[in-house]
Amino acid sequence: MGIIKERFKLKADAANAEIKDLLKEHGNKKIGEVTLAQIYQGMRGITGLVSETSLLDAQEGIRFRGYSIPELQKSLPTAIPNGEPLPEGLFYLMLIGELPTEEDVHHVTNVWQRRSHVPTHVFKAIDALPISTHPMTMFVVGVMALQTESDFAREYAKGISKKDYWNPTYDDVMDLIARLPRIAAYIYRRKYKNNEHIQPDGLLDWAGNLAHMMGFEDESFKELMRLYMTIHADHEGGNVSAHATHLVGSALSDPYLSYAAGMNGLAGPLHGLANQEVIKWIFEMQKELGTDNPSKEQIEDYVKKTIAAGKVVPGYGHAVLRKTDPRFTAQMEFGKKHMPDDKLVNTVWKIYETVPPILQSLGKIKNPWPNVDAHSGALLVHYGLVEYEFYTVLFAVSRALGVLANLCWDRALGFPIERPKSVTTSAVKRWLKGEDEIWE
């Protein structure tokens, strides 16, 4: 057994024993009440899931195993001195629950390098799609084609014991994460770079190699990829991509099937696709105004026009957060360090000064502040990655780290199939009239 797998097993055994005791003693404690409004309104605020890898605070933002993004930037190993954290380190932290050493991170990089081979039929499946296909569709098709490699599916078909589910799940998770950069880069080069592909570099880290295979050799772009892959990895368990992965995994669908399901959710414009929508919206604004340097007044008018047309301002608002997303702030810091005079990046900062008061004045938006997607595209455009339909694929590669670390935990903790109760509006009306008891 590999060292990380062994460490994971030890942690999982200890957690299992702890949770068993916790439930024995406190299993009947109530943690909240559910209102009628909540079941009609996206289950907002209902605590109904356990996700060990990260926790979101409405005011402060995300913490991964207790560490905020600035803390991770100080404490996770980096590829270059004082550089951005290596996402391998964040994955280790989420999986094992402890900060990794340099050696641990190096080990994860090596394991992923070793497991990164993508079989030819995956590329053929992607090639079978028309070139006009959205990159996220190509990506999910690639992941689904890769499902032929699932150890979990193979072991389950042979008749594996429940207590061993975690083991092939872990192997699938490591294989899948290792292979994603190759699939993502293949899609990028196929769709936008004349189908001219670049072989992986066996000496590079996971995110650095993704940049390399996409054709970006600038060291600061590689640093951006390391930061990007770290900050987009996880946002606790209830967001659409994490929840969908967990839900599908709860039916014992293997990690390939579960992750593909989650990424179909990430491809929605209210979730991960918002990163492409932000840049598209800014480009459309520039075109309409005839300038790539709009004033605050011009931005204000354009925002009001967007809202009046019944559309959302992409990149703003959040279902849980009530302050500026620290993932936005981390990217703003990166922009200040690497490209303080970039016009598009400065436009993003001007939008940040302009949008919140307008959204606040509408009186119905719970969070007028920017989320992660408000910033990412402008940094990518700076390096020449202008093909914004591709942006959600990058998000998906990063999100694999969180949702798949979680899937390892789901299987190791023996979480059952997920099946909440739903009701009909007629049943609700009968209940309100006192004709029905509360449903069991």
Catalytic residues: 271, 318, 373
**How far is the CA of 227 from the CAs of 70, 77, 358, 372, 396, in angstroms?**
11, 12, 30, 12, 14
Residue 237 binds ligand HAX (CB under 6 A) = no
**Contact in structure between 92 and 104 (CB atoms under 8 Å):** yes
Torsion of CA 31, 34, 35, 36, to 10 degrees: 180
Residue (264 or 367) nearer to ligand HAX, CB: 367
Q: Min. distance of Cβ 361 from ligand HAX in angstroms?
A: 12
* Per-state percent for the chain, helix, strand, coil, to nearest 5: 60, 5, 35
Q: Min. distance of Cβ 156 from ligand HAX in angstroms?
A: 32
Residue (171 or 373) nearer to ligand HAX, CB: 373
Which of 12, 95, 118, 313: binder of ligand HAX (CB under 6 A)?
A: 313
CA distance 262 to 248: 8
Which range in 200-208, 264-272, 339-347, 376-384 contacts ligand HAX by CB under 6 A? 264-272
If DSSP states are collapsed to H, E and C, what string results for 80-122? CCCCCECHHHHHHHHHHCCCCCHHHHHHHHHHHHHCCCCCHHH
Which range in 189-197, 222-230, 314-322, 338-346 contacts ligand HAX by CB under 6 A? 314-322
Which of 181, 265, 317, 335: binder of ligand HAX (CB under 6 A)?
A: 317
Q: Min. distance of Cβ 273 from ligand HAX in angstroms?
A: 8
**Contact in structure between 36 and 428 (CB atoms under 8 Å):** yes
Residue (139 or 152) nearer to ligand HAX, CB: 139
Integer-rounded Cα Rg, in Å, for the chain is 22
**Which parts of 17-36 interact with ligand HAX (CB under 6 A)?**
none
**Contact in structure between 237 and 94 (CB atoms under 8 Å):** no
Number of residue whose CB is nearest ligand HAX = 317
Q: Min. distance of Cβ 29 from ligand HAX in angstroms?
A: 28
Any idea how long the chain is? 440
* Binding-site string for ligand HAX from residue 268 to residue 287, where x marks contact by CB under 6 A and - marks none: --xxx-x-------------
Residue 316 binds ligand HAX (CB under 6 A) = yes
Residue (167 or 367) nearer to ligand HAX, CB: 367
Which of 307, 413, 423, 428: binder of ligand HAX (CB under 6 A)?
A: 307
Work out whether the CA dihedral 348, 230, 329, 45 comes out positive or negative.
positive
Which of 242, 319, 344, 412: binder of ligand HAX (CB under 6 A)?
A: 319
**Contact in structure between 4 and 108 (CB atoms under 8 Å):** yes
- Residues in a beta bridge with 370: 316
Q: Min. distance of Cβ 412 from ligand HAX in angstroms?
A: 27
Q: Min. distance of Cβ 426 from ligand HAX in angstroms?
A: 24
> What backbone torsions phi and psi does residue 174 show, to the nearest 5 degrees?
-65, -40
Residue 312 binds ligand HAX (CB under 6 A) = yes
Residue (134 or 154) nearer to ligand HAX, CB: 134
Q: Min. distance of Cβ 160 from ligand HAX in angstroms?
A: 35
Number of residues binding to ligand HAX, judged by CB under 6 A? 21
Residue 305 binds ligand HAX (CB under 6 A) = no
Residue (42 or 119) nearer to ligand HAX, CB: 42
**Two tokens, residue 439:** 């449903």
Residue (16 or 361) nearer to ligand HAX, CB: 361
CA distance 59 to 53: 19
Q: Min. distance of Cβ 328 from ligand HAX in angstroms?
A: 10
3-state secondary structure of 262: helix
CA distance 407 to 67: 21
Residue 315 binds ligand HAX (CB under 6 A) = yes
Residue 46 binds ligand HAX (CB under 6 A) = no
**Which parts of 348-387 interact with ligand HAX (CB under 6 A)?**
364-367, 371-373
**Contact in structure between 94 and 53 (CB atoms under 8 Å):** yes
Residue (4 or 319) nearer to ligand HAX, CB: 319
Contacts of 149 by beta carbon, 8 Å cutoff, 6+ apart? 119, 172, 175, 256
Strands (E), 117-165: none
Residue 122 binds ligand HAX (CB under 6 A) = no
Give the footprint of ligand HAX on this chain (CB under 6 A): 239, 270-272, 274, 307, 312-319, 364-367, 371-373
